[in-house]
Structure 1
Amino acid sequence: MRPTEITDILNRPISQELLARDLTRLAYIAKDGTPRSIPIAFTWNGAEIILCTSKNAPKLPALRNNPMVALTIDTEVHPPKILLIRGRAELDVVDGIPDEYLQMNGSYQMTPEQRVEWEAEVRSLYDGMVRIVVTPTWAKLIDFETTLPTAVEELIRQRAERQHA
């Protein structure tokens, strides 16, 4: 997929809505060779998806071994809106708490007092974190109005061909 195609998809209003959500599902291949899909907080900086995790997270050795990942960001309503992204995870070990981690956890319902307590707890727990930086290499938006899953598009095309035969 060409970078301009990816940018066009990610800049659509529905994609921007989805990229502003709190959680994505990160899919990767674990060290034992089996797939994993985990919910994880994220933030979008306009070019990359940033995820943050502890330096001892089990996903890190797996991502070092095979950095190819897939992300799903979706809604819980019918019809769902779904943004599918593939890319390569780059791991960036940082001292302290990355700004993105504090931003991505800022939308949960917390009073200002709870926020202060939460941030103090985070700072006392982590001496550093790993930023998982994913630059999209492929993207697809499915909104069930203007875009459909590829298999459904194929079925619709086949039905139309049968009806016109």
Structure 2
Amino acid sequence: MSTAATAPKVKALSVRPEVALTIDAGDTPGSAKTLSVRGVVHLTIVDGVVPEYLAAARKNFDAEYAAEFERNCRAMYDQMARIALEPQWARFYDFGAGRMPEFLAELAKKSS
């Protein structure tokens, strides 16, 4: 992950690097999935734009728009912060396959 080196989250993560992150996917109950991660972030300030930031843009934009995006980023950022998460705990839930937190499974049983 990356952000401007001057972003408030960079200062906050410098003071308290322990984080929890949740990524949700799926647009129906049957396709719902969640990845929960807890860990410690490591910050690196880089000159210019974090290369991974531009690589992600290239995957999501056509070549012309990605080139324009890169030009704009390089004009905007003198420095960026790379935020690397070192996982210490992770759990994946696939709600459609019945893999869900025990407390939710119990609630689902009661409501059936």
Give the alignment's TM-score, normalised by structure 1: 0.59
Q: Does 1:59 align with 2:20?
A: no
> What amino acid maps onto 1:88 in structure 2?
V
Task: Output aligned runs, 1:83-122, within 5 Å.
Answer: 83-108=35-60, 110-122=61-73
SS in 2 for 1:56: coil
CA–CA distance in 1 between the matches of 2:56 and 2:101? 29
More helix by share: 2
Partner deviation per Cα, 1:39-93 (whole Å, 9 max, x = no partner): xxxxxxxxxxxx1010110111111111111111111322211111111011111
Task: Output aligned runs, 1:1-165, within 5 Å.
Answer: 51-79=1-29, 80-108=32-60, 110-144=61-95, 145-153=97-105, 155=106
Report which structure shows greater RCO (CA 8 Å, sep ≥6). Answer: 2
Gaps of 5+ in 2: none
CA–CA distance in 2 between the matches of 1:105 and 1:112? 10
CA–CA distance in 1 between the matches of 2:58 and 2:63? 11
Displaced runs of 4 or more, over 6 A: none
Give the alignment's TM-score, normalised by structure 2: 0.84
Identity %: 38
User: Aligned pairs, how many?
Assistant: 106
